[in-house]
Amino acid sequence: MKKILFATTALVVTAGAAAADITLSGSANMGVKYQEGRAAGETFLYNELDFGINASSTTDSGIEFGASIDLDASMTDDTATQDPGSFDPEVYISSGGLTLTVGTVDPATDPFGIGDIGFDGIGIDDVGEKIGGTGVKGNANVIVEYTMGDYSFAASADGNSGDDWAIAFMGSFSGLDFGIGYNEAAVLGTTVDATWLDLSYGFGDVTVGAFYLHADAAGGGEADNYGFEAAYTAGDLTVNFAYSYDDSTDADAYGVGASYNLGSGLAVAGGVGDVDGTTVADFGVTMSF
């Protein structure tokens, strides 16, 4: 799971008695990456931009509704690309803690896993959160979420494929955040069932987290993946460590990183680690607008 800070600029549009909020959010990063044995050069430049437009309004009876769209792009070396997840159109309606969203949404189990290391991420989390290097969370174009206090329930599905669906229950109490979920996804020509357990606990300046993933493939084959992370914050400086393991290939990954908040949405970050025997690293800055 990638954690990104966003800053927003809001425009208020008045239509009759109702007020619609239109919000522009943005983030970006730039820096240098290293990947041992990379054919196109082990050291290379990278940047990424992510801008979002969000609109929402509320009826007199308290029903909230809205829509959002993303504009994403990145550059590796001197090659610029529009990211596959660009646009991501989503439309939602919400009332009484119940929200229905239709669009290119994340599946209900998407929040489960650990954070990555570095200014953009060097792939430590991916090893454990995937089976054999392939994601098992599936796709979704509709999600229903219900929130009551510190607890929430979510169910998602891909209406174009009956093989991709997910459910999840998450909550928080006494500093402990937890989540449990189940999803089915079409992966490499077969159906994979995945059960997730996710935990995070903060005490003082230290936060620790872990996840466990059990996956069964139709026709045989199973895997038990896991990962854990720890972070220590002292003022504007955060130091973090992450480890993950893929049971299906006996691959693991580990790394250590640090970030320093320079203020006003600007931070410097970097990390170094090992992904299944390959040394990886990055160093750069992150921005929020």
CATH number at residue 114: 2.40.160.10
Q: Please, which residues have CB within 8 angstroms of residue 4's CB and are 6 or more apart in sequence?
A: 27, 50, 286, 288
pLDDT at 189: 80
For residue 182, is pLDDT > 80?
yes
On whether residue 88 sits in a domain, the answer given is no
Task: Give the range among 16-30, 72-86, 90-104, 183-197 with minimum mean pLDDT.
Answer: 16-30
Q: Lowest-confidence range among 6-15, 41-50, 142-151, 273-282?
A: 6-15
Split at pLDDT 50, 70, 90, the class of 19 is: low
Q: Structural domain of residue 113, as residue ranges?
A: 28-51+96-288
Q: 82 lies in a domain? A: no
Q: pLDDT at residue 231 above 90?
A: yes
What's the rounded mean pLDDT across residues 29-52? 97
Of 15-29, 168-182, 242-256, where does mean pLDDT reach its minimum? 15-29
Tokens (6 digits) for 86: 């660009």
Between residues 239 and 220, which one has the greater pLDDT? 239
Per-residue pLDDT at 18: 56
| Residue 162 pLDDT class (50, 70, 90 cuts) | confident
Average pLDDT over residues 174-184: 96
Residue 175 lies in a domain: yes
pTM for the full model? 0.89
Provide the pLDDT for residue 13. 44
Q: How many residues does the chain have?
A: 289
Judge whether 177 lies within some domain. yes
Taking 50 as the threshold, does the pLDDT of residue 12 lie above it?
no
Domain tally for the chain? 1
Residues 166 and 89: their CA atoms lie apart, in Å, by: 20
What integer best gives the mean pLDDT of the chain? 92
What are the φ/ψ torsions at residue 196 (nearest 5 degrees)? -120, 140
Closest CA to 198 of 254, 149, 156, 244: 244
| Within-domain flag for 75 | no
Specify if 196 maps to a domain: yes
Residue 56 domain flag: no
Query: 39 lies in a domain?
Result: yes
